Amino acid sequence: MKSPTTLFTRLQRLVPAHVKPKFTSGEELIKWNQEQGRQRSESIVRENRAMRMQRVMGRSGIRELHMNCSFDNYRVENEGQQRALALARQYASEFEGNIASFVFSGKPGTGKNHLAAAIGNDLILRGKSVLIVTVADLMSNMKGTFSGTSDTTEERLLHDLSTVDLLVIDEIGMQTESRYEKVIINQIVDRRSSSKRPTGMLSNLDHAGMNQLLGERVMDRMRLGNSLWVRFDWESYRSRVRGDEY
Ligand SMILES: Nc1ncnc2c1ncn2[C@@H]1O[C@H](COP(=O)(O)OP(=O)(O)OP(=O)(O)O)[C@@H](O)[C@H]1O
């Protein structure tokens, strides 16, 4: 095998005079090569994560309306919004190695999805896998696995949902209560908490309503660690959304 210096000297001869190389010695060439390899493998990890999300729910982690939601474009006009924004930002920054889950509960259109997506977008940029899914989507995907034509099984889907770095379940309490729904949410939260993976929940229900709907067992698991419960109780922002702001 050629030494880095010999290789560098040979490369120098081949490179046209006007081209400025990214390295000026054999050692720098090796470093540059290693850095390129690291960047490539990071991008493969990101691509694999996105493909996995695509496989789990037929789409990547975050829906179109919320793809550009960030902490910076969440407008603060009252104390509640200020607190919610600060807590969401802190949750994202302390995510690494944290088992704490979060619940954003309150009125429609107040930014629960916006801030959950901001957390998700921030984590995706840091190489984490994130899925935000409504209970309805979750159930139709679960039920889809029963058909003979499905290329995944109920167990496989449960496994995938239980192993993404952050799973956010949206619209809890929107459906008519079904026993199957409760069992599935219970299993997912149970598997995730026992493998130290946090779950986010978004709901219009309050504490008592969520306890009643999902049961004490699930809600107790949601309280593991330094968990977060944020009330969104101001007026809806929806009438002000034009669709082209971010
Ligand atoms: N403070 C805010 N600043 C900027 N945009 C906001 C703010 N609050 C909400 N929005 C925008 O308003 C729309 C509705 O917000 P979002 O989807 O987060 O509501 P939600 O609380 O999840 O509602 P629901 O309970 O009905 O699902 C989104 O497009 C979101 O980006």
Query: Which residue, by CA, sits nearest to atom 9 of ligand 1?
Result: 111
Q: Which of 75, 113, 210 best tests ligand 1's pocket when mutated (most atoms within 8 Å of CB)?
A: 113
Which contiguous run of DSSP H or E holds residue 14? helix 4-14
Question: Using alpha carbons only, what angle is made at residue 93 by residues 186 and 53, rounded to the nearest 5 degrees?
Answer: 50
3-state secondary structure of 196: coil
Query: Which residue, by CA, sits nearest to atom 19 of ligand 1?
Result: 109
From first to last of the 246 residues of the chain, give the pLDDT tens digit: 567 778 778 877 888 878 777 778 888 888 888 888 887 876 776 677 677 777 777 776 777 778 888 999 999 999 999 999 999 999 999 999 999 999 999 999 999 999 999 999 899 888 888 999 999 989 988 888 887 777 778 888 899 899 999 999 999 998 766 888 889 999 999 999 999 999 999 999 999 999 999 999 999 999 998 899 999 999 999 888 877 776
- List, chain by chain if needed, residues with CB within 6 Å of any ligand 1 atom: 65, 69, 74-75, 81, 108-114, 202, 204, 232, 237-238, 241
**What spacing in Å lies between the alpha carbon of 211 and ligand 1's midpoint?**
24
Strand partners, 199: 167
Domain boundaries, the chain: 12-43, 49-237
**What spacing in Å lies between the alpha carbon of 145 and ligand 1's midpoint?**
32
Q: Strands across the sheet with 166-172, in order?
A: 130-134, 166-172, 199-203, 102-106, 228-232
**What spacing in Å lies between the alpha carbon of 213 and ligand 1's midpoint?**
24
166: tokens are: 């952050």
Strands, E, within 29-114: which ranges?
102-106
Query: Interhelix angle for 207-214 vs 179-194, to 10°?
Result: 100
Residue 103 near residue 228, CB atoms below 8 Å: yes
pLDDT of residue 2: 64
CATH code for residues 49-237: 3.40.50.300
